[in-house]
Chain A
């Protein structure tokens, strides 16, 4: 059995909106192991992003137990959660939100600067990861000079540069056309093959099918596996 990165039991998340309680998550139990590739599909509003935020330590559950990288999430301070995100987790979103006035390389370098790496090391790492996403030639370009797919690859490089054990991707191909989405899908698969665990939220069944474990969510819960599934 490989290392357990994340373990969640009976997670619930409620939002109060104008006095009404919204149950974004009702009872989610999930484990993510090192090297796994999990995809999550489900109707809009069923709680996929909410789950990803909680697994990624940017949000806290209203109820349930959560262990992140061996630590009880309920006991983590804000600073500790920030450090966890910096060193163990990577995030990719539907919108890339690169800083437009920084070059691709500078965008990717930000997490390394935060981690306090020396300049030489930073440059090596950035080069390495930009090469990995196939953009070594575009390092000096600003996001505005890159296509949507290239920007998303820069965003992925930014998520990978601190060598996270787990990459959380929320509809990373949502704003891209099919061919460009395919490039991203291949990149994720390669990443998985190289050993990084991935949790991918997507509306695209073909993309979801590439995962080693496919989950469906409905109404704040993970549906049990369908009859006859392997």
Chain B
């Protein structure tokens, strides 16, 4: 009965209800976006790490993956030892660092080199041409930004060196690679000029051959759930390195993302307050127009509790009706905001700020219902305190 009355009550002024629902929907959309933002970067990082498919990352002591140009020595020996560990499928030695790149006889540009032997899905995805093959020691794949900067196409030669003599405007003892493909690098910033070659080749460029220096070993496991155990074993066995399972890596970056959590908390709270005020105002307004009616309903024997729950339900129903708008608009707005933010030059290409997770959806649902309940309190109080005779006196007698 209460539900029946509440729903009919809402549709008494359809245009007004529609506007209110739209308003609550938009505020709810912002609320959803803030929930998506609060853990979005983490979720997006998680997704990338999962997609890339390595469960453990080994880095120089005190650094995160590709945090710096730092390396650790004896890389291939450590990688081989890790590969031999039970439960490890394979370990990929990777070296990354700053170098110089040019076309023959031209002014060089700074670039970032990734050294990784195939299979290489951990670091890049080929857009055009073909990926490096195991025997391709003198081939490279390049990022669109580097290809554009040097005017490179597939089949062209890329000259690269670790050092550059500025007086001569020339690379010092360059090595020459044939471009086999254009690739997007998962962890690149949007404008980053990158190219990829085999690990040993990269060690030549970075002068890490003697030391066998690596920046990263990506470890694939037979059992995806044993990441924590293997990373602990690596840390214990090789004191010169750090090791992170996917979960540990996410925890490690968590601190750097606190800024976003705070931001989303503030804006999320504001949109919740807007929801509460909108719903509260609408329902209170509609109640104050219906005091005479409500007094009569009480006079003919409807219990106070009935009318109070009817008002409460009206608030909740408003919120419920606005949910499709909140989720629909929230999704669209998040795509739009994400496109704006990820266009910023310092953001890795594959990252997203707004990620739709079950957690974000459930939190939004809960917060919207909470808003509806809070908004219902004042109108419910109005109805609970309605005194029948004086209301009849002022409203019903005309």
Q: A82-B298, A86-B301, A114-B302 are in contact. Are A99 and B8 (CB under 8 A)?
A: yes
* A59 close to B389 (CB less than 8 A): yes
* A113 close to B389 (CB less than 8 A): no
What would 7 more interface pairs be, CB under 8 Å, given A86-B302, A101-B12, A114-B1?
A82-B302, A82-B303, A93-B397, A102-B8, A110-B1, A113-B1, A158-B300
Q: Mark B383-395, 1 if CB is under 8 A from A, else 0.
A: 0000011001101
* B393 close to A85 (CB less than 8 A): no
> How many residue pairs at the A-B interface have CB separations less than 8 Å?
82
* A170 close to B301 (CB less than 8 A): no
* A114 close to B306 (CB less than 8 A): yes
A95–B12 Cα distance when bound, in Å, is 19
Q: A93-B296, A102-B8 are in contact. Are A162 and B396 (CB under 8 A)?
A: no
Q: Is the interface on chain B under 10, 10 to 19, 20 to 34, or 35 or more residues?
A: 20 to 34
Q: A58-B389, A58-B392 are in contact. Are A111 and B301 (CB under 8 A)?
A: yes
Q: Mark B1-21, 1 if CB is under 8 A from A, else 0.
A: 100010011011000000000
The answer to whether the Cβ of B107 comes within 8 Å of any Cβ in the partner chain is no
The answer to whether the Cβ of A195 comes within 8 Å of any Cβ in the partner chain is no
Would you give the shortest CB distance from A90 to chain B, in whole angstroms?
Answer: 7
* Chain A stretch 43-97: residues in CB contact (< 8 A) with chain B: 49-50, 53, 56, 58-59, 78-79, 82-83, 85-87, 89-91, 93-95, 97
Q: A97-B292, A99-B293, A174-B398 are in contact. Are A91 and B389 (CB under 8 A)?
A: no
A56–B301 Cα distance when bound, in Å, is 11
Q: Is the interface on chain A under 10, 10 to 19, 20 to 34, or 35 or more residues?
A: 35 or more
Would you give the shortest CB distance from A220 to chain B, in whole angstroms?
Answer: 15
* A110 close to B302 (CB less than 8 A): yes
A111–B300 Cα distance when bound, in Å, is 7
The answer to whether the Cβ of B235 comes within 8 Å of any Cβ in the partner chain is no
The answer to whether the Cβ of A200 comes within 8 Å of any Cβ in the partner chain is no
The answer to whether the Cβ of B297 comes within 8 Å of any Cβ in the partner chain is yes
* A49 close to B397 (CB less than 8 A): yes
* Chain B stretch 34-70: residues in CB contact (< 8 A) with chain A: none
Would you give the shortest CB distance from B90 to chain A, in whole angstroms?
Answer: 69
Indicate the member of B292, B298, B302, B389 with the most A CB atoms within 10 Å: B389
Closest-by-CB residue of B relative to A96 is B296
A98–B249 Cα distance when bound, in Å, is 65
